[in-house]
Amino acid sequence: MPLRIAALDHDPAASGCADRPRASSAAPTALFATALATLLAACATDGPVPVRSAMTHAEARALIVQALPPGVGERAGWAADIHAALTALQVPVNASNVCAAVAITEQESSFRANPTVPGLAAIAWREIDAKSERAGVPPAVARTALKLPSSNGRSFAERIDAATTEKELSEIFDDFVGMVPMGRRLFAGANPVRTGGPMQVAIAFAEQHAAARPYPYPVATDLRAEVFTRRGGLYFGIAHLLDYPADYDRPLYRFADFNAGHYASRNAAFQNAVSIASGIALDLDGDLVLRGPDAGRRTGATEAALRSLAPRLGLDQDAIRAALAQEKEARFSRSAVYRKVFEAAEQAHGRPLPRAVVPRIQLKSPKITRQLTTEWFATRVDERHRRCVVRVNAQGA
């Protein structure tokens, strides 16, 4: 089982027409007809799809309050920020979508905008030592540099020892990188805190998403700081969860994608089909191409297995490479490579194959102290989602 760092960088995906999460079927017939006509018109022109809800803002927020688990404080504030994110992202406000956001937030932070991390100082020091060694700096030298005074007068080391949240740690590293030359050498000019906020979204994703779609709130300092706020963390977390078209038949696969990357569940199912068609065992990790320093020098396992199928499928290597490069896009599932692989695999298998499989990934992070997997994460969130939907339906009855 491949290891996967829990906090990943993800590419933002564009929204689509046919695969946008469906609005609630409880909408009145006349309103549904109007919305359907608008949707078809927008799809015909391939333009943005305005989302119309059968609910008023007050009704939508009341539904979200119902969805929140018992014991969550500041319920009106959480509901307002979840509603604002869904509205800004043009995601329909219905029980399934609301409960998806609620389930991830409950799993990741128990509805704390800036959750505490047990043993954070010890985790930070271990990371500092590891980064020092990779940079060729003796850890003792790096620790001495961290005894220098920071912007608030306390030493960086004192602030690290007292830090209990990722937000605090991020601010310390920002100071250190900006004030101390060794900070830039150790961290290559980049803050090593990569996730944050109530949905533990990757800061790199937030920056990429905001570059493609304007962030709807005023930014006081930078987007990194926004991720650590309730409104910003929810906005970017919901964007990562719901603001991309995926034709999954169960929310479980979106939850797996939230952990492993957009379309990882679809891609794992494709790897399964490649394995059946070729007879070559593959790790179903959802990664179709190699990334990183070896990408230009080596061929990934999925691509190598596909090349063995190329003569049978009437494909050339350029077509295979071009299709696999779309692994983070909706259009990959419309490619000839995707279609021909499933045709060959299903012929060999004798029955239809799934179009989504939870990736088999072992999670690895300085914050994780147990053996956890993407399947564990997705299943836990799916259970929370089911309880949330039951909660909403019970209160609406």
Cα–Cα distance, 97 to 93 (Å, whole number): 6
Cα–Cα distance, 278 to 110 (Å, whole number): 44
State the average pLDDT over residues 166-174. 86
Flag whether pLDDT at 326 surpasses 90: yes
Domain count, the chain: 3
Q: Do 26 and 175 belong together in one domain?
A: no
Flag whether pLDDT at 131 surpasses 50: yes
54-58, 122-126, 188-192, 305-309: which range is least confident on average? Answer: 188-192
Contact at 8 Å (CB) between 276 and 353?
yes
Contact at 8 Å (CB) between 351 and 279?
no
Cα–Cα distance, 338 to 324 (Å, whole number): 9
What dihedral do alpha carbons 193, 211, 246, 88 form, nearest 10°? 100
129-138, 153-162, 205-214, 325-334: which range is least confident on average? Answer: 129-138
What are the C-alpha distances in Å from 365 to residues 8, 11, 77, 335?
Answer: 10, 20, 31, 35
Q: Compute φ and ψ for 73, nearest 5 degrees.
A: -85, 170
Give pLDDT, residue 364.
61
Q: Is residue 392 part of a domain?
A: no
Cα–Cα distance, 287 to 355 (Å, whole number): 15
Q: Do 164 and 188 belong together in one domain?
A: yes
Q: Do 303 and 163 belong together in one domain?
A: no
Flag whether pLDDT at 12 surpasses 60: no
Domain ranges, residue 185: 120-195
Tokens in use for 167? 């937000």
Reported as a single tens digit per residue, the pLDDT across 182-230 is 776 676 656 778 889 999 999 999 999 999 999 999 998 889 999 999 9
Eight-state DSSP code of residue 202: E
Cα–Cα distance, 3 to 362 (Å, whole number): 5
Q: Is residue 104 part of a domain?
A: yes
Give pLDDT, residue 22.
32
Q: Do 164 and 78 belong together in one domain?
A: no
Q: Do 222 and 330 belong together in one domain?
A: no
Q: Is residue 397 part of a domain?
A: no
Give pLDDT, residue 33.
37
State the average pLDDT over residues 165-193. 77
Q: Does residue 3 sit in helix, strand or coil?
A: strand
Q: Do 153 and 206 belong together in one domain?
A: no
Contact at 8 Å (CB) between 160 and 124?
yes
Give pLDDT, residue 17.
33
Number of C-beta neighbours around residue 389 at 10 A: 20
Q: Is residue 186 part of a domain?
A: yes
Cα–Cα distance, 199 to 109 (Å, whole number): 7
DSSP symbols for 69-91: PTT-SSHHHHHHHHHHHHHHTT-
Length in residues, the chain: 397
Give pLDDT, residue 366.
56
Q: Do 109 and 205 belong together in one domain?
A: yes
Reported as a single tens digit per residue, the pLDDT across 368-379 is 556 789 999 999
Contact at 8 Å (CB) between 92 and 51?
yes
Pick the more confident residue, 106 or 25: 106
Q: Does residue 362 sit in helix, strand or coil?
A: strand
Q: Do 133 and 278 belong together in one domain?
A: no
Q: Do 170 and 292 belong together in one domain?
A: no
Q: Is residue 8 part of a domain?
A: no
Q: Do 63 and 182 belong together in one domain?
A: no
Query: Which amino acid is present at 63?
Result: L
| Boundary of a domain, candidates 334, 349, 364 | 349
Cα–Cα distance, 18 to 216 (Å, whole number): 25
Give pLDDT, residue 189.
58
Closest C-alpha among 185, 188, 161, 186 to residue 172: 161
**β-strand pairing of 3-5 with 201-202:** unpaired
Cα–Cα distance, 98 to 248 (Å, whole number): 17
| Boundary of a domain, candidates 158, 177, 195 | 195
Cα–Cα distance, 258 to 245 (Å, whole number): 13
Q: Which residue has the tokens 């022109």?
A: 45
Q: Is residue 387 part of a domain?
A: no
Q: Kindly indicate the confidence band of residue 15, based on its pLDDT and cuts at 50, 70 and 90.
A: very low
Q: Which residue has the tokens 């896009």?
A: 329
Reported as a single tens digit per residue, the pLDDT across 64-123 is 999 999 999 999 999 999 999 999 999 999 999 999 999 999 999 999 988 888 888 888
Q: Kindly indicate the confidence band of residue 323, based on its pLDDT and cuts at 50, 70 and 90.
A: very high
State the average pLDDT over residues 388-393. 94
Q: To the nearest whole number, what is the mean pLDDT of the chain?
A: 83
Q: Do 98 and 202 belong together in one domain?
A: yes
Flag whether pLDDT at 325 surpasses 80: yes
Flag whether pLDDT at 342 surpasses 90: yes
Q: Is residue 215 part of a domain?
A: yes
Q: Is residue 151 part of a domain?
A: yes
Cα–Cα distance, 293 to 21 (Å, whole number): 37
What percentage of the chain exceeds 70 in pLDDT? 81
Cα–Cα distance, 217 to 259 (Å, whole number): 26
Give pLDDT, residue 273.
97
Q: Kindly indicate the confidence band of residue 292, based on its pLDDT and cuts at 50, 70 and 90.
A: low
Q: Do 292 and 237 belong together in one domain?
A: no
- Spell 153-191 as b/e; 16+ CB within 10 A means b: eeebbbbbeebebbbbbbbbbbbbbeebebbebbbeeeb
Contact at 8 Å (CB) between 358 and 266?
no
- pTM, rounded to two decimals: 0.80
